Structure 1
Amino acid sequence: MFYRLWTPEHPKGLIVFVHGAGEHSGAYCHIAMECLNRHIAFAAPDLRGFGQSEGKRGYIRHFKDYLDDLDELIIQLQIRYPGLPIFLFGNSLGGLIAIRYVQQFRDKVAGVILSSPALGIRLKLPYFMRKLIELVSLLAPAWPVEFVKWNETLRKLKWLQAHLPNWTSEMLEDPQATIRYTPRWFTELLRNGTKALSEVYQFQSPMLCIYDRYDTVVNAKLIEQFVDSVAIGEKECFVYDKGSHQLLHDGEVLRHIFQWLDTRFLRSKYIVD
């Protein structure tokens, strides 16, 4: 698994950032640079099948493979930075991976930051279509579907524009972006979104969640349900109404994130003079 690592001279903490679907770690260098300015180490892997990591594009045999890859990286970082508090930060697909990781690998991280976690998609698929996708996932799990190109074609229909992502055109220009997905990837995404909600009681880490109630990609109501259901008292949530899925280039959003982190670092007594 390919990953990028930025390390200040005397880090007070470490963020492990997990990108969203189609993305790669290089898209978040601006957060890494801000972390360096704040004496925070920043590690960002490319998920398998994305960016510069190995694996068939947009394919995963089992969702747990993402979690095992992430755990292997976190173990390496714990050895490299003994005693340093590690915070897991996931965006969209990465947010769902962060949730499932904490639910299955407890006490590995000091806290979790979720940005628009993909607990479900906003577009409501008819029952028969979901079953058809599940069937294709069994019969042809690695069959490639160029979702991004489909999305850009459908967006030419004005009546559909408000219901489809408006940022996929940028992926067509990025040689490291993933524009192909497979039925197995899609079914694993939906299944684990459902599992994340049904196993919410296993989520025991301090949490900051940020999302948009009018998100055009993920189901914001499911995010609200998840946050409300998390039993731990150390949780904080910021909800926006800008109709955006990509929030991590917004200065206000980043200020909320680093304010939350500063509070956690103070509690962990990792303060840089």
Structure 2
Amino acid sequence: MTHIEGTFTGAGGLNLYYQSWQPEGELRAVIAMVHGFGAHSGLFNDAVQHLLPLGYAVYAFDLRGHGRSPGQRGHINSWAELREDLHTFLTRIQERGPSCACFLWGHSLGAAIAVDYALRFPQSLQGLILTAPALGKVNLPVLKVALGRMLSQVWPNFSLKVGLDQGTSLRGQNYILTQDPLRHEYGTARLAAEFFATEKWVENHASELQVPLLIMYSSGDRITPPEGSVAFFQKVSFPDKESYEYPGDYHDFHQDINYQKVLVDLEHWLEKHLDGEIDNPASKCLIKIPSLHTETFTM
């Protein structure tokens, strides 16, 4: 395994932190990950360790205002910044392996970012993976949501703790992961307003999705309840779609007690889209993506 860390230039010239994990031997496909609110790119370790031996390269970056990336914690000026950051990131990856299948995986808030992107740039992806997507109802304190919407135009960078119960993310000994110092709990008024506007747009355009979809959710998720995932899945008319429910698991179920079951289901879906069971002729990685020789993407 080769682990690479570096930065790339996102919207507005902000240098965003990224990391990648390259498998030994032949590369089969690329998986780009987008983390959730308050999280960072280092929280997919179980998935990375599962996917690397299968021949997948994994890329992830810290959203602006998150993890090791700069910016006010949990703040954006517009949703377009998040979309441009992701577009630049995927473009740089794909420039290094233009014949390689690229799957986009978004978790929670990252799922909203990912599906918004997939609706606008479907030709760049061979598949879309959404886990615990922040679609439909999200369990945020009503007063804080109302405050965020009200202040978005007059005080956009007004910040406060969002109020998510970290005890609803992971169970048992895995709960210690929520104490990670790179995590945070702050969001700004503008982020809240932009998120709800984007989520509504995504819901209204779900039937236009033209990318193979895998959506995974948990019945025990008290942050992004499963009803939102079910409703979104039903609106998608593209025939290549699958959904999996994990009874009783918590919000971050890719790290939760039953994470191995989740990752095996993900593996099987990926295999179908690479080995010809699904008619997707572009999903072949014909060349090996070279390792980045510097720690910074060349723009």
Letter matched to residue 149 of structure 2: E
Provide the TM-score with structure 2 as the length reference.
0.80
* Aligned position for 2:205: 199
| Residues 118-164 of structure 1: CA deviation (Å, up to 9, x unaligned) | 013443765x865443111222111121235x857xxxxxxxxxxx7
* Aligned position for 2:234: 228
Structure 1: distance between partners of 2:52 and 2:265:
17
Q: How many residues align?
A: 259
Instruction: Give runs of aligned pairs for residues 153-232 of structure 1, distance below 5 A.
Output: 165=168, 167=170, 170=176, 173-232=179-238
Letter matched to residue 223 of structure 2: V
* Aligned position for 1:239: 245
* Aligned position for 1:255: 264
Quote the offset at 1:34 in angstroms.
1.8
* Aligned position for 2:295: none
Structure 1, unmatched stretches of 5+, are: 153-163
| Residues 10-56 of structure 1: CA deviation (Å, up to 9, x unaligned) | 21100001111111111112211222111110001111111111221
The 3-state SS of whatever aligns with 1:139 is coil
Provide the TM-score with structure 1 as the length reference.
0.87
Structure 1: distance between partners of 2:45 and 2:31:
13
Question: In 1, are the aligned partners of 2:38 and 2:185 still within 8 Å (CA)?
Answer: yes
Structure 2: distance between partners of 1:172 and 1:229:
33
The 3-state SS of whatever aligns with 1:177 is coil
* Aligned position for 1:145: 160
Structure 1 range deviating more: 8-17 or 242-251: 242-251
| Greater strand proportion | 2
The alpha-carbon distance between structure 1 residues 170 and 132, as it changes in their structure 2 partners (threshold 3 A), is same
* Aligned position for 2:292: none
Structure 1: distance between partners of 2:140 and 2:74:
21
* Aligned position for 2:13: none
The 3-state SS of whatever aligns with 2:181 is coil
Structure 1: distance between partners of 2:48 and 2:65:
22
Question: In 2, are the aligned partners of 1:22 and 1:171 still within 8 Å (CA)?
Answer: no
Question: In 2, are the aligned partners of 1:120 and 1:190 still within 8 Å (CA)?
Answer: no
- Give identity over the alignment, percent: 27
The 3-state SS of whatever aligns with 1:2 is strand
| Greater helix proportion | 1
Structure 1: distance between partners of 2:113 and 2:194:
11
Asked if 1:19 is matched to 2:28, the reply is no
RMSD: 2.4
Structure 1: distance between partners of 2:144 and 2:41:
32
The 3-state SS of whatever aligns with 2:58 is strand
Letter matched to residue 137 of structure 1: S
Quote the offset at 1:64 in angstroms.
1.9
Structure 2, unmatched stretches of 5+, are: 1-15, 277-282, 288-299
Question: In 1, are the aligned partners of 2:99 and 2:286 still within 8 Å (CA)?
Answer: no
* Aligned position for 2:85: 69
Question: In 1, are the aligned partners of 2:140 and 2:162 still within 8 Å (CA)?
Answer: no
* Aligned position for 1:95: 111
